[in-house]
Each structure stands twice: as C-alpha cells, then as structure tokens.
Structure 1
Amino acid sequence: MPSPTQRALARVPDRLRPFLVRHRKLVKFLLVGGSCFVLTMVVNFTLKLTVLHEKPVVSLTIATVLATVVSYVLNRQWSFRTNGRQREAALFFVVSGLAVLVNDAPLIVSRYVFDLREPAVSYSGQEIADFVSGMILGTLLAMVFRYWAMKRWVFVRYDTDTDTAAPAGRPEPETEPQGVRP
C-alpha cells in the first residue's frame, strides 16, 4: 500500500514531480510551517482579542511557542525523520527560542519604535500593522532562520557507521518516495 506521500505525489503533474521529490524536505518543512502558521494565527488572535488585549507581543510569543512544540513533533516525525540524534530536542528548542525573538522583533519595532498603535493610529491601522509585522514579516523571517538553523545544527544526518555528522556534500539516501518515479 502506498504511503500518503506517494499517493499525493501520484496526483502532482509529471513536470513538477521531480522538483518536489528533489526538495521533499523543504516541501514537508513548508507544509508543517503552514499548518503551524494557522495554529499561531488562531491562538494569537484568540489571546489578543480576549485575555491579552493589552499585550500583543506576549500573545504572539505564547502562540509562537505553542506552535513551536507542534512544529517539533511534526518535523521530527515527518520532515526530518531520517536525520538527527538524541541532543536534537535541546538544539531544536534553542534554535526555536531564537526564532521566537526573530518572530517578535518586527512586531516590537512596529509597536514601540514606529508607534503604530492606538492612539497614534486608528484601531484598524494598529491591527493591520500588528498582522503585517508580527504574523507576516515576523513569520517569514523566523521561517527562513529556522529552516537554515534546523538543517545546519538540529536535524543533521549522521553516518550510521561512525555516529558522526555526514559531510555537507554527501547526498542523502533515497528513503522515499518508493514506487513513484520522477
């Protein structure tokens, strides 16, 4: 029985399939990230519009931390399942902690440097600025940082014979998708 990945690839147009197979870790990382982005938005706006109305940075931070935990599980089990060792969880959360700061920085600048908040701007102007700076710009910057850092330091492929990190130039073994030819 084909895996879910194989079934999904079978539905992709033939000319796109080789690209997706070649960059499957990035595609999986982006799918996990997109799901976690939706989770972050839902939690952020729920908190911001209820109990943390006066604390938008705290709201975004809590939402991002929650999505980070979900991201770890999904990336570990799906995106980078052939990579990594025991210390990866600690490294993941160190990188993710730095990524939370990267994610919050545009919102902090928008709110407290450019003063894009009430009463300097309208409520709708404040909310648009918060969304663009925190959810869009912050998430994009953090995503680029996370992908680079995760691939570089966290989910490093190890040589199973020597238990050492494999050289960067060494190709990864083809573990999936079996049965679907590009």
Structure 2
Amino acid sequence: MRLTDRTLNWLPNPLAALLRKHRETVKFVIVGGLCYVVSLVFNYALRLTVLGAKPVTALTIANIIATVVSYFLNREWSFRTRGGRRRHHEMLLYTVVNGIGVAVNSAPLWIAQYTFGLHYPNVSHAVEEISDFVFGMIIGVALAMVFRLWAYRVWVFPHDDVRPAPKRYEVPTQAAVPAPVATDSTSA
C-alpha cells in the first residue's frame, strides 16, 4: 500500500474520500509545504547572514532554490501521470511558470517594502520583520501557490494519464475472515 493511502486511512472516511478524489492537489500542497519550509529556511539563513539589508533578494534566491526542489517532487510525485511534452520543453515551461511564480511571490513584499515603506527606519525592526513575514511568506506564497497549481495543469503538465501510474492497491474495507478448517470427522 502506498504512503498516501496509508496516511489517508488515518482520517475519517468522508474526509479521506474527498482527499482521494483530489489526490493530485493534495500531493501538490504537500510538496508546496515542504518547499515552503525550504524557502523559509533559506530566506532566513540569507537574511540573517549575507543579505540582511536586501530582504527581497534573499526571498527571491530562497524561492529559486525551493523551485528546483519543487520541480523534481512535482514531476515525479504530484503530477507523475501528467505530461505530454518532451522533457526539455516541459522543464523550460516549468522554469518560465516558476519565474513568474517567484515574481508573484516577491511582489507583495516589494510593495510592503517600497510602496508602503514598511522597513527600518520608517518602522521598528519588529514591525519590519512581521511585515516581511506576512507579505513575503504568507501572502506571497499563497498567491504564487494558486498561480502555480493552475499553470502546471494548463501549461507544464497539460495532459492527464500520459505516463502510467504505479499499480494502486485497494484499501480493504474489512479484514479477511479465515476459511473454516476442514476436519475429518471419521478419525477421532
């Protein structure tokens, strides 16, 4: 039984059935969550070391790193049955879509920093950090996630059931009842 099915078996049946119906989106969100952590770690690693004065640059670099991780996970897990394009064409489209996604992700932080002026010395360091997190890591990520899911389905992996999926194992509804053991009634 696959990891996804084993995990969904822990959930209540109505919720598990809904999530199985939208399996591709669920996997996309899981990959997105993992890449969010990658982006978060690299963003703050860069901001707290070499790019302290350049938060938009730090976020952009972190998103590029997370995008590379995302491609391989999405291609081989989330959208593994989708495709329809040659690998180099698919990768080029993925790169273009994610370039736009990085811009969509960075735009709210750029607006907060340079349009609203939510940076030091205009505001305190604490307000700047909260603003950067909300605009860059929450609003930006949410907007970019919705854009990427749509764009992957439409442009990058446009055709469903192109690549064969591994065989699915059905989840048993009841435990198997052992067959009665035949006994010889003549020998006693």
How many positions carry a matched residue from both structures?
Answer: 169
- Percent identical across equivalent pairs? 51
- TM-score, reference length from structure 2: 0.84
Deviation of the 1:40 alpha carbon: 0.5
Distance 1:77 1:38, change over 3 A: same
Cα root mean square deviation, aligned: 1.9
Q: Higher mean Cα deviation, 127-136 or 149-158?
A: 149-158
SS at match of 1:16: helix
Q: Which residue of 2 aligns with 1:59?
A: 58
Correspondence 1:19-168 to 2 at 5 A: 19-84=18-83, 85-86=85-86, 87-157=89-159
Where structure 2 has 5 or more consecutive residues not aligned to the other structure, the ranges are: 174-188
Q: Give the Cα–Cα distance (whole angstroms) in 2 for the partners of residues 66 and 174 of structure 1.
A: 28
Q: Give the Cα–Cα distance (whole angstroms) in 1 for the partners of residues 167 and 111 of structure 2.
A: 43
Where structure 1 has 5 or more consecutive residues not aligned to the other structure, the ranges are: 161-172
Q: Give the Cα–Cα distance (whole angstroms) in 1 for the partners of residues 153 and 172 of structure 2.
A: 26
Distance 1:8 1:26, change over 3 A: same
Q: Give the Cα–Cα distance (whole angstroms) in 2 for the partners of residues 114 and 22 of structure 1.
A: 42
Distance 1:62 1:181, change over 3 A: farther
- TM-score, reference length from structure 1: 0.87
Instruction: Encode CA deviations 1:39-67: one digit per residue, 9 max, x unaligned.
Output: 10110001001100011011000000000
Distance 1:159 1:136, change over 3 A: closer
